[in-house]
A and B are shown apart, each in its own frame.
Chain A
Amino acid sequence: MSHAITIDGLHYRAGKAFEISDLTLRVPAGAIYGFLGPNGSGKTTTIRLVLGLLRPLAGRICVLDALVPNDVVRVLARTGYVPEQPHLDHTLTVTEAMRFHAAFYPTWDQSWAERLLQDFELDPTQPFGKLSKGQKGKLMMLLALAQRPELLVLDEPTDGLDPVVRRDMLEALLDYVAQHGATVFVSSHLIHELERICDWVAIMDRGNLVSELPMDRFKAGIKRLKVAGAPADLAGLPFKVLARERNGSTESWVVSGWQPDMTAFFERGETTLREIIDLDLEDGFVELLRAARRPVA
């Protein structure tokens, strides 16, 4: 299994306003794969399709070498899922929620679940409905990890939680990955957090995949260039110009697909390269989205 998740030609529609058309995506086995996109871009919908909770109109979804939705039971048995909204019965206590969850997973690791219960400082007698937002998040993470999954699907698991809780949850997640080599598919708005932990990054916008690259390549390839003597027509450049802005005699370009040896291109033509400025994941994300919405002519 070289990929934990493969999606080909996926089509889905919800009402008239939202559509995923022809989505293709590859999550390498063992990767921590960050799934970024603004609200309403189709992240949660894609996650629900991957887990067989929604039916596609067309396309092929393969998770852990099994087809979804046909073989979804085999997929779910090996997949830990932390949904955007915790979905447990509010009257169940923490212990009851754990017993309930464990019953579905033969791989459940009770001793590790109890360790996490202590690490997370959760009161086993508290009903789920009485837990704080952070405690709910930690319990959902505990349940997903203690079932010892091969794949973890996390839908904004730490968004809206305080930094202490986020740290506890991430440490437990990374500890699990270090021991068991699981694949993690995680969506979040907390870009700096993803920048730390992910080795792959994908960006969704309006139901389309805008970019899917290893993190290092994504960051190495997106730059801001200061150039002088820029041509009016940008055809024939070895990289893609996502945005251009004029400041007096120079122009500022945001480019993708940049490689260090491309400086040679500027030695031949009339355009002079003044400076190369690095962008972080958040800047790159914003520039890519802007370009996806209104391409540079």
Chain B
Amino acid sequence: MLDRIDPRSPTPLYAQIAGRLRSAIAAGDLRPGEPLPSVRQLAAELRVNPATVVQAYRDLETEGFVEMRQGAGTFVREVATERRARERTRVARQLIRTLIADAARAGIPVADLVAAIEHELGAKTS
């Protein structure tokens, strides 16, 4: 779930890590009460600055997704169903925004884009 961070992206690494974890919590892959990897472990695994992981965890704590317990680690909090749904919607919109921007750059009209999405989903009627 965290193997797709991209150091070359303009999105700071802490924001990428927080984003992946937020999505995992929203999707229910990370369940309430479940511990996140320790800062030390995750920093070594991703080969990033430990301060980057700390910042990602702090951001998630501020947003109410996790809880940092002194000496014990960081744990996923109970997140309301609506909140998780909202988070999924937010991610979905972000994905689409990127898609639309890329399509515009490639000179693809929105109608063609929608048709392509329908085709991929196999949802083409008639």
A interface residue numbers (CB < 8 A to B): 30, 32, 167, 170-171, 174-175, 177-179, 192-193, 195-199, 215-216, 219-220, 275, 278-282
Residues of chain A within 8 A (CB-CB) of B39 are 178
Residues of chain B within 8 A (CB-CB) of A278 are 9-10
Residues of chain A within 8 A (CB-CB) of B40 are 175, 178-179
Q: When the two chains form their complex, are residues A175 and B44 in contact, meaning their CB atoms are under 8 A apart?
A: yes
Closest 9 CB pairs of A and B: A178-B50, A280-B8, A178-B40, A278-B10, A196-B7, A195-B7, A171-B44, A216-B12, A174-B43
Expressed in whole angstroms, the Cα–Cα distance for A30 and B51 within the complex equals: 9
B interface residue numbers (CB < 8 A to A): 7-10, 12-13, 39-40, 43-44, 46-52, 105
Expressed in whole angstroms, the Cα–Cα distance for A56 and B25 within the complex equals: 55
A-B contact count (CB 8 A): 56
Q: Say which residue of B8, B9, B10, B47 sits within 8 Å of A197 (CB atoms).
A: B47
Which secondary structure dominates where chain B touches chain A? Answer: helix
Residues of chain A within 8 A (CB-CB) of B105 are 275
Residues of chain B within 8 A (CB-CB) of A215 are 12
Question: A219 and B10 in contact (CB under 8 A), knowing A177-B50, A198-B49, A199-B51?
Answer: yes
Q: When the two chains form their complex, are residues B44 and A178 in contact, meaning their CB atoms are under 8 A apart?
A: yes
Residues of chain A within 8 A (CB-CB) of B10 are 219-220, 278-280
Question: A177 and B49 in contact (CB under 8 A), knowing A171-B44, A192-B7?
Answer: yes
Question: A196 and B44 in contact (CB under 8 A), knowing A280-B8, A281-B8?
Answer: no
Expressed in whole angstroms, the Cα–Cα distance for A216 and B51 within the complex equals: 13
Residues of chain B within 8 A (CB-CB) of A199 are 49, 51-52
Residues of chain B within 8 A (CB-CB) of A175 are 40, 43-44
Expressed in whole angstroms, the Cα–Cα distance for A77 and B36 within the complex equals: 36
Question: A196 and B51 in contact (CB under 8 A), knowing A175-B40, A278-B10?
Answer: no
CB nearest neighbor in A for B12: A216
Question: A174 and B7 in contact (CB under 8 A), knowing A196-B13, A216-B12?
Answer: no
Q: When the two chains form their complex, are residues B48 and A174 in contact, meaning their CB atoms are under 8 A apart?
A: yes
